[in-house]
A and B are shown apart, each in its own frame.
Chain A
Amino acid sequence: MSLAGDISAGAPRIHLSQDMRQLIYRLLAAGLLCLALSLASEAFLTANNILNVLRQASLLFFLASGLTLVILTGGLDLSVGANIGLSACLAATVIKATGSPVLGTLTGLAAGCMVGICNGLMVAKLRIPSFIATYGMLWVLHGVTYYYMGGETIHGFPPGFRQIGSGYFLGIPIPVYLMVGFLVAGTLFAQRTVWGQQIYAIGANPLAARLTGIPVDRRLILVYAFSGAMAGVASIVFLARLNSAEGDIGEAMTLPAIAAVLIGGASLFGGVGTVFGTFVGALILTLVLNGMNLLAVNASWQPLVTGVIVIFAVWLDMHGRKKA
């Protein structure tokens, strides 16, 4: 698998067809889950619930899509959850202070992006392993955010701004449009641009990538900046949806985001994975929660059910890939 990935890293066309086959198996897991749920609960297969699931998946997808690029390079960004917390709190402060959602949004995005660039510099320039660099960043961000907020919450934002998170256009929630937008943009970037292909190449073989003249450091900084910026996007949508910011909002989101990327077929060793796969991964995780709520699974059993389904989904995917 990794060998095939290495060779195809430079050639977009092979990548796509290989991904296509893999995607079918990945979608199969999501499809089976949907089938089981629609048999078990009447409420599942309704237009309302599908839109509901997509909207819920969007936050996780924003976070996981940027992370996908980092994981493609063989790195990891553990700071995304903490980044959401800081970016959301700063954006909320600016909106409250200036009354301008535009300034607030820009602040949130800039803060997220800046954190990402710091991560990128630590990884690319200081050569600190990404796990450690971003784990350290996680603590720094938590520290700053908790100190800044002092256990308070900031709430109540203008209705116009809140449309980003809770509004509809033609009956479809705004976050779903944003998700589709980032899904298409992310896929095109990763599959069809030189930079995207260079990112795959770095993950497949960093030394070879360097030797072939790819500016590895700059690309690394770029992917961490993307990851940070997407955490910024997630923080804005979060604010607009929840109408409230507190320090620990992203804490419970880091692991699910990493899980979404890996369930989506990416490899922690780098070079393998797609943004669309991550979308499917986020969808599976969201479907599990949705299904358990619809079926009113006992709270005590929910962690167990989640674990079993995640493992089963990945097993099915790997099994299918071996056959393909």
Chain B
Amino acid sequence: MSKLKLLAAALLATATVAGGAQAADETIAVFTKNQTNPYFQTVRVGAEVAAKSMGAKVVHYIPTKPDSIPEQLSQIEDVIIKKPSAIVFVPVDYKAMVPGVEQINEAKIPVVNVTDRSAGGKFLAFVGADDYSLGLETGRFLLKEMGGKGNVVILEGVKGSLTNIDRVRGFNDAIKENKDVKLLASQPGNYQRLQGLQVMENLMQSHPQIDGVLAANDAMAIGAIEALDGANRKAKVVGINGTKEAVDAIKTGKLLATGDYNGFVQGCIGTMVAIRALRNETIVGEVVLKPTVVNSTNYQPYDVPLEARTCPSWDQAASMATKAPTKTN
């Protein structure tokens, strides 16, 4: 009994000493939406790389049922008890998770909002990308490569999801800029590879000439390429997300381009902001990353394993800031 107490005391002592000595003891809880979308894997690895370089630890919270609101809410309750130093938070639903964020605020755990902007709650900063300009720039790139003329189709994502609405609006605006481009059809593939393939197969039945395909994510874009290959037809295809598979397809010339949502960099900067805030260093209030259209001329930095990529330096990150931090402390 006394031995046990002694041990506990010793442990406690080392813990406080280590805590006083800063670093290594900071735990960042990273919340992402699911384990199925490769995008969130890039956010998680970005967070890990940033934390490692700054000497902090990362713990992941991922709903087992993808995008489950109740599950993320219960994970928040869990995390409030465990009290990590800070939280990097991607809400599974930007509206429904507001009460959860308020719970985090009440527990006084600093939290950074990443990827999907929460409709409420207090955050140190928001780090994200803009789906509209991502759709617009990726669309513009395709249409420029098509010489500003031809027939195109859009493969939409999940109807009603924020990302899809903005990406498709971006696509449409890019098409409107080109008078000689005709939009033949805009059909939903629900971000699913199989549906991307099948919808493309169907569209090829009713449209003998399709020159360009704008897909709201990479999985549908690759599905559409399989459909085109299967019918021995050629069209220029673009996707969105900058996945490894898309980069491989760009290398082999099958995919024209993919708009990168920069999940890795979002994970990096979000985590850097959280750790810097803990250390009372200067932070930024908002970073909305500019879209990068990955294509055959600039894919090299994306052609390395995620773990081997490096985060931007803090100066670079700070220079991308779109808003200063709101004073809370």
Contacts from A to B (Cβ < 8 Å) = 41-44, 46, 48-49, 52, 55-56, 59, 139, 142-143, 146-147, 149-153, 155-156, 166, 238, 241-244, 246-249, 251-253, 289-290, 292-294, 296, 299-300, 302-303
Query: Which residue of chain A lies nearest to B230 when distances are taken between CB atoms in the complex?
Result: A166
A49-B205, A151-B38, A294-B205 known; A56 vs B190 contact (CB < 8 Å): no
* Contact status B159-A300, CB under 8 Å: yes
The residues of B that contact A303 with a CB separation of less than 8 Å are 159
- For the complex, give the distance between the alpha carbons of A95 and B41 in Å: 24
- For the complex, give the distance between the alpha carbons of A52 and B201 in Å: 7
Instruction: Pick 15 A–B contacts, CB within 8 A, sort by A.
Output: A151-B36, A153-B245, A155-B245, A242-B193, A243-B222, A246-B219, A247-B36, A252-B192, A252-B194, A253-B194, A292-B187, A294-B206, A296-B185, A299-B188, A302-B159
B202 CB to nearest A CB, Å: 4
- For the complex, give the distance between the alpha carbons of A246 and B64 in Å: 16
* Contact status A142-B64, CB under 8 Å: yes
Interface residues on B, range: 35 or more
Query: Which residue of chain B lies nearest to A292 when distances are taken between CB atoms in the complex?
Result: B187
Which residues of B in the span 67-125 have a Cβ within 8 Å of any Cβ on A?
A: none
B210 CB to nearest A CB, Å: 12
Return the 10 tightest CB-CB contacts between A and B, nearest first: A151-B41, A293-B202, A43-B206, A146-B35, A248-B36, A299-B188, A296-B185, A49-B205, A294-B206, A43-B205
Contacts from B to A (Cβ < 8 Å) = 35-41, 44, 64-66, 156, 159, 184-188, 190, 192-195, 197-199, 201-203, 205-206, 219, 222-223, 226, 229-230, 243-245, 248
Point out the residue from B39, B156, B190, B222 that lies within 8 Å of A252, measured CB to CB: B190
The residues of A that contact B229 with a CB separation of less than 8 Å are 166
* Contact status B245-A242, CB under 8 Å: no
The residues of B that contact A294 with a CB separation of less than 8 Å are 202, 205-206
Point out the residue from B184, B185, B194 that lies within 8 Å of A238, measured CB to CB: B194
- For the complex, give the distance between the alpha carbons of A88 and B165 in Å: 31
* Contact status A146-B64, CB under 8 Å: yes
* Contact status B35-A244, CB under 8 Å: no
The residues of A that contact B44 with a CB separation of less than 8 Å are 151
A142-B64, A166-B226, A293-B187 known; A46 vs B205 contact (CB < 8 Å): yes
* Contact status B205-A247, CB under 8 Å: no
The residues of A that contact B230 with a CB separation of less than 8 Å are 166
